[in-house]
Amino acid sequence: MIKSQGWDWKIVKEDKTSIWKNPSMESFYLLNRWKSQNKECFLDLGCGLGRHSILFGKNGFKVSCLDISEESINRTKTWAEEEKLTFDYKVGDMINLPYSDNSFDAIICMNVISHTDTEGIKKAISEIERVLKRNGECYLTLASKDTWGYKRENWPKVDENTRLLMLEGPEYKVPHFYADYNLIQELFVNFEIIDIHQIVNYYPHEDIVNESYHFHLLIRKR
C-alpha cells in the first residue's frame, strides 16, 4: 500500500470565498436528511478546513473532525472556536481510524477517499464500515476514470487505478485512485448503495484544468 499523504494546506491562504470554506451543495441535503433521521454523531472524514464540520456543528450535531494534515485540524479548530463550537479533533489516517467500532451515525468524506491506491481504498472503506453504526450513512466522492488526471499517461502510475498527481499545489504528488461504475459496485458490496451519481465540475477560469468528473455515493451500513 502506498504511504498516505495529505494536502499541504500551509500553501493555501485563508479565503472566505474559496470552495473549501463554503459547504458543498450536497451537504445541505444531507443535513436535512440526517436531522430528520435523528442522527447525532457526525464524522467529517478528511475535514480539510472544516466547512462541513462547522455546518453540522451549528445545526446541533456532535462533530468529530479527522484529517491526516495537522494544519487542517489546527485551522478547523481555530474556525470552530471563532464560532463558539466544540468538536473532537484527531490527526489521523483514513486507513486506520482512531475510533471504536459503531461510533458514528453519519459520515461525510468529500474529496478525500481517492487520495490513496487500490489497496488503501479497500482499507479506508472497511474502516468506514467499522466505525459506522448499523443503518449509519456515509456520503463520499470518488475521482472518476473519465476525469483528466487518469488520462495523463506521463504521470506516475502506482497501480492500474492509481496515479500520482503532478500539478504544483497542495496535492502535488498525492496519490489519486480513479473509479468506474463496476469497480464501485465491487468496492461497496458490503453496503446498501442508496444513490450513485457522476458529477462534472467545470472550471472556466482555470488555465490547466477545465473540468473534472467525480462519483458521489450515498451508502448505508447494513
Ligand X SMILES: C[S@@+](CC[C@H](N)C(=O)[O-])C[C@H]1O[C@@H](n2cnc3c(N)ncnc32)[C@H](O)[C@@H]1O
Which chain residues interact with ligand X by CB under 6 A? 4, 6-7, 20, 46-48, 51, 67-69, 72, 93-94, 110-112, 115
Q: Nearer Cβ to ligand X, position 60 or 98?
A: 98
In angstroms, what is the minimal distance from the CB of 45 to ligand X? 7
In angstroms, what is the minimal distance from the CB of 75 to ligand X? 10
Q: Nearer Cβ to ligand X, position 43 or 94?
A: 94
| Torsion angle defined by CA atoms of residues 191, 195, 200 and 201, in that order, rounded to the nearest 10 degrees | -80
Q: Nearer Cβ to ligand X, position 100 or 154?
A: 100
Q: Nearer Cβ to ligand X, position 50 or 192?
A: 50
Question: What is the DSSP track for 64-107?
Answer: EEEES-HHHHHHHHHHHHHTT---EEEE-BTTB-SS-TT-EEEE
In angstroms, what is the minimal distance from the CB of 152 to ligand X? 18
Calpha distance 73→185 (Å, rounded): 32
Residue located via cell numbers 489521523: 92
Tell me the CA distances in angstroms from 186 to 73, 114, 125, 182, 191, one per residue in order. 32, 16, 11, 7, 10
In angstroms, what is the minimal distance from the CB of 94 to ligand X? 4
In angstroms, what is the minimal distance from the CB of 158 to ligand X? 14
> 48 with 19: CB under 8 angstroms?
no
Q: Nearer Cβ to ligand X, position 25 or 182?
A: 25
In angstroms, what is the minimal distance from the CB of 26 to ligand X? 10
Tell me the CA distances in angstroms from 116 to 135, 143, 162, 179, one per residue in order. 26, 11, 8, 12
Q: Nearer Cβ to ligand X, position 1 or 196?
A: 1
| DSSP letter, residue 179 | B
β-sheet bridge partners, residue 196: 217
Calpha distance 36→31 (Å, rounded): 9
Nearest residue to ligand X by CB is: 48
